[in-house]
Structure 1
Amino acid sequence: MAPKMPQEHSDFRKQQILTAAWECFAEKGYQETTIRDIADRMSLSTGIIYSYFKGKDELLEAIHSCSMENKKRIADKIRQKETAREAINELFSLFLESCPFEELRKAMRADLRSWSEALKRENFRKLFISQYEYVRTIVAQFVEQGAEKGEFKAEFDPYAFVGFVNALLLGLEVQVALIDEAASRSYVDKIKNILLSNVWRDVMDGSGDGPLE
């Protein structure tokens, strides 16, 4: 019997495989990527990959699990904010600051290439929907709390706003996947200014914080 590897080594190897798979999916797409492509990127045999994962489906599921954990870490930071204004500012800032830009670009490209699979396969569709619903729930929490505190203008519709923010985040994935870092940051700043200046009560009436500096 072969000696059992320490758990730390096993976890490290799994992460290496997931990173290689994620990079291949970003470059070639899920459908075009083979286990051989992933193994070649790591200079390993396909047998080693199969000793950790049954195939591409399980790899993609594991990648989405890692993505969900990252979203939970971001959500924990957002929950520490006292107002909805601060939470939204933090949400869009963390979107670009959660990792180096080139890694973020790869992640967005991998997501975009995987969306086509989600349209064709029910198990993948459920993975994407679970992430979408999780983000929507987090946004809804701080928006509803802000509405209860009277942070927003009287005509504000919190439910429509939650959908709007989610749509903007999905649009940002496309932006990051296609354009350079400077343009992406400029786009995020403009989105934040629009969001933070059109739905909040003005500081002039004593019921809000005014435009974000």
Structure 2
Amino acid sequence: MARVSQEHLDARRRQILDGAAICFARNGFHATSMQDVLKEVDLSAGAVYRYFSGKEELIAAVVGEVLGSVRGAFEEAVHLSPPPAPDVLITQVLGRTLAARANLTVDGEPAFPRLVIQVWAETLRNKELAVVLHEGYAGVRGAWSRIVQGYQDAGMMRSDVDPDHVARTMIAGAMGFLAQQSLFGPAPAEVLGDGLRALMGMTDVPAATGGSQLG
């Protein structure tokens, strides 16, 4: 009997993970059964269980990939000196992350943003996955804090602000943009980049010009 190549094993595992990701993005983790996954990937139970012992292990693998892809993209930017400005960097990171999963769709729309929302919701009830999420978030925060420190060292950003505060804000922008895509439909990452660029370029409006004053 011919031995199955590692390439074939890796491709089959990829097929299962992608199919499961589509199912989870479509209906959530709880409403998705292993039968749903088997139907999506068009494989027998034996073929799937060769790679994953059950639904919980499959969930953990999908969650790990989702968090790892986002974290890895941001951590790559740490090695750039100086890194691109935030509007450019976050557009590149999100664009690359979304493009890497562009083959996964639900009802004709990208599955990845919906999957991210499902992952966040699942970690609220699953303590093991919550630990993975917190570790991933801490990693992204640390990476972004180092990026912000690079901005400050290069004189690109004021130095009297805690890098972690800026990191949290930039992460919030990325998370919010993914949430919008999930809820309201896809949009290119350049939309977020344009918005950030406009906010970063704001200047104080002198009172003499008639600018409105709050308070």
Q: TM-score, normalised by structure 2?
A: 0.78
Matches within 5 A, 1:88-107: 89-100=88-99, 103=104, 105-107=110-112
Cα–Cα, structure 1 residues 180 and 91, in superposed 2: closer, same or farther, change >3 Å? same
Residues in 2 aligned to 1:26 and 1:110: alpha-carbon distance in whole angstroms: 4
Amino acid at match of 1:171: G
For the pair 1:53 / 2:52, whether they are aligned, the reply is: yes
Aligned identity (percent) is 22
Amino acid at match of 1:172: F
Structure 1 residue corresponding to 2:128, chosen from 123, 126, 129: 123
For these two proteins, the number of residue pairs brought into alignment is: 197
Does the CA contact (< 8 Å) of 1:144 and 1:158 recur in 2?
A: yes
**Structure 2 residues not aligned, in runs of 5+:** 204-215
**Structure 1 residues not aligned, in runs of 5+:** 200-213
Does the CA contact (< 8 Å) of 2:25 and 2:112 recur in 1?
A: yes
Q: CA deviation at 1:111?
A: 1.8
Cα–Cα, structure 1 residues 81 and 103, in superposed 2: closer, same or farther, change >3 Å? farther
Residues in 2 aligned to 1:155 and 1:38: alpha-carbon distance in whole angstroms: 51
- Determine the structure 1 residue equivalent to 2:61: 62
Structure 2 residue corresponding to 1:197, chosen from 184, 201, 206: 201
Amino acid at match of 2:145: A
Amino acid at match of 1:152: M
Does the CA contact (< 8 Å) of 1:78 and 1:87 recur in 2?
A: no
1:90-145 deviations in Å (ceiling 9; x for gaps):
23332023343574831121121232221111001112112211111110011122
Amino acid at match of 2:173: L
Q: Which has the higher contact order (CA 8 A, sep 6+)?
A: 2
Cα–Cα, structure 1 residues 31 and 150, in superposed 2: closer, same or farther, change >3 Å? same
- Determine the structure 1 residue equivalent to 2:41: 42
Task: Provide the alpha-carbon RMSD of the alignment.
Answer: 2.7
* Equivalent position SS for 1:29: helix
- Determine the structure 1 residue equivalent to 2:27: 28
Q: Which range moves more in the overlay, 178-187 or 21-30?
A: 178-187
Q: Which range moves more in the overlay, 35-44 or 100-109?
A: 100-109
1:155-185 deviations in Å (ceiling 9; x for gaps):
5342321111121121112012123334764
Amino acid at match of 1:141: R
Matches within 5 A, 1:43-192: 43-71=42-70, 73-75=72-74, 77-86=76-85, 89-100=88-99, 103=104, 105-153=110-158, 155-182=160-187, 185-192=190-197
Does the CA contact (< 8 Å) of 1:175 and 1:184 recur in 2?
A: no
Q: TM-score, normalised by structure 1?
A: 0.79
Residues in 2 aligned to 1:197 and 1:84: alpha-carbon distance in whole angstroms: 18
